[in-house]
């Protein structure tokens, strides 16, 4: 079975989005220790994917889904999951309290 092919621009976009979100997440997080605990799996995953890229490549869909999950981890690390604004938006939309 052959590895899926990626355009250089797709790989560059994935890296830029990850690094930009990581940088945003690191700027004045709610709690620095919690930030490290919640962001470290995303950083470890990025490193593992980068090391495995020459030998093993996920399909583009899986790569973008992994990025989406990494963004969730990075946003959760910035606010802590209990304080993520999206939870307040959904609660207000449903007429509930968080």
The mean pLDDT values, 10 residues at a time, for the chain of 98 residues are 75 95 96 95 95 86 94 94 81 81
pLDDT of residue 93: 85
pLDDT of residue 83: 84
Using alpha carbons only, give the angle 39, 41, 42 rounded to the nearest 5 degrees: 65
Q: What is the DSSP letter of 7?
A: -
For residues 74 and 59, give the distance between their C-alpha atoms in angstroms, rounded to a whole number.
23
pLDDT of residue 64: 93
84 conformational bin, left if phi > 0, alpha if psi -120 to 50, beta if neither? beta
């Amino acid at each position: 079975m052959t590895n899926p092919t990626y355009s250089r621009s797709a790989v560059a976009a994935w890296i830029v989005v990850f690094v930009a979100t990581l940088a945003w997440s690191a700027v004045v997080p709610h709690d620095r220790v919690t930030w490290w605990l919640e962001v470290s799996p995303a950083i470890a995953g990025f490193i593992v994917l980068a090391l495995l890229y020459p030998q093993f490549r996920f399909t583009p869909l899986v790569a973008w889904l992994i990025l989406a999950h990494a963004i969730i981890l990075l946003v959760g690390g910035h606010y802590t999951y209990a304080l993520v604004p999206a939870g307040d938006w959904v609660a207000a939309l449903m007429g509930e309290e968080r």
